[in-house]
Amino acid sequence: MQKSKLKNQKLPKGWRKVKLGEILSEKPQYGYTASAQSKRVGPRFLRVTDIAGYNIDWSSVPFCLINTKEKPKYLLQKNDIVFARAGTVGFTCLFKESPSEETIFASYLIRIRVNEDKCDPKYLSYFLKSPYYWGQVHGFLSGSAQPGINASSLQNFELLLPDNISVQKRIAKILSAFDEKIELNNKINQTLEQMAQAIFKEWFVKNQKLKGWEVKNVMEIIKRLPVGKRYDNRTALPKGKVPILDQGQSGIIGFHNEEPSVKANTKNPVAVFSNHTCYYRLITFNFSCIQNVIPYIGTNGYPTLFVYFLTKDKIKMRDYKGHWPEFAAQKFVIPPQELAIEFSKKIQPFIEIIDKNQKENQTLSFLRDLLLPKLMSGEVLMNSE
């Protein structure tokens, strides 16, 4: 590992630098190797792509087969933290509660368990979002020939730690107030998208035999957009002007400061299909992409909002492979253009509210991330009483 970004960090009284391995209750553990299954053949199977962006869409998490003897070793529990060791390297997720369904973690994830007498799990989860942590991740990746981080290297990452557990908990409580509001906005947005999908179903799924409807190949009503330069976790910056989309449900791998590859807004949204993971997103901001993130819009008189809800979730991931050929071969019963346009106008207010909430979340995230390093370094001192 390259020299730590914390080497010259001056700490206040009651704080110290420790290696991650020093505060764990057990050695980090690699996840289970199996094929993801769309059918409920066993427990949920959490993958790297499911934790990108720090949020998990459980409806998209697949299942896997695992024998009864091995399963307990890989089941996720309350206060477990999983770390992406490949792909979107460095992304982490804390399980504040045990998953509502049995869930095991996949092989490109590493699970760590904290000794709670030494460190508050929520405090650690926030440190793993801080610039001190990400500086070490990017430093390791830039100095390594391998595009990932193993369990041994992970244990050598350093963190800044108040000795007093109550101080750790208070820091986590301050930061979690921002995340609770972000989570509420995300739930509102999810409800709005579900409402839009229900309207789509009522208008178009139940009326496919009406006059003027015809069967079309999906490529007759969508246009795939060029994305120019593609980015990866080595070239992505932790902060910047333009977000870089990865293949996770809501994942942004990082940022850059060049021109965006694709421009979008609420009036001209862009649909995105992830080639390997089959996640769909409707984007209303300028962005760039990693490999296998495919943006598309409506064409030949069919609005993007219509084609997004038409195609969303129609192709589902079975194996980690390219699914675009399957996507492009689809055929749909398509309504007249006028009806598709009317639908788009009806749900446009939903999209504008979603966009407003997303922008508020960006502000909340900015404020949280502005405060986070000050709290994590002891620059803002916490009274332990």
> What's the confidence (pLDDT) of residue 384?
47
Q: What is the pLDDT of residue 2?
A: 41
The answer to whether 349 and 364 have CB atoms below 8 angstroms apart is no
Q: With contact defined as beta carbons under 8 Å apart, do 88 and 246 qualify?
A: yes
Task: Name residues of the chain where pLDDT drops below 50.
Answer: 1-4, 384-385
How does pLDDT run across 150-180, given as a tens digit for each residue? 999 999 999 999 999 999 999 999 999 999 9
What are φ and ψ of residue 342, in 5° steps? -60, -40
Q: Which two tokens stand for residue 219?
A: 């490529």
Question: What is the residue extent of each domain of the chain?
Answer: 15-163, 180-361
Helix (H) or strand (E) holding 17: strand 15-19
- Decide: helix, strand or coil at residue 168: helix
CB 48 within 8 A of CB 91: yes
Alpha helices, H only, 157-204: 165-200
> What does the pLDDT read at residue 54?
55
Is the CB of residue 157 less than 8 Å from the CB of residue 136?
yes
CATH 3.30.980.10 for the 15-163 domain, yes or no: no
Question: Which one is the CATH code of 180-361: 3.40.50.1980, 3.40.50.1220, 3.40.190.150, 3.90.220.20?
Answer: 3.90.220.20
pLDDT reported for residue 3: 44
Does this chain's domain 15-163 share its CATH topology with 180-361?
Answer: yes
Closest CA to 48 of 13, 75, 16, 85: 85
What is the reported pLDDT for 311?
Answer: 97
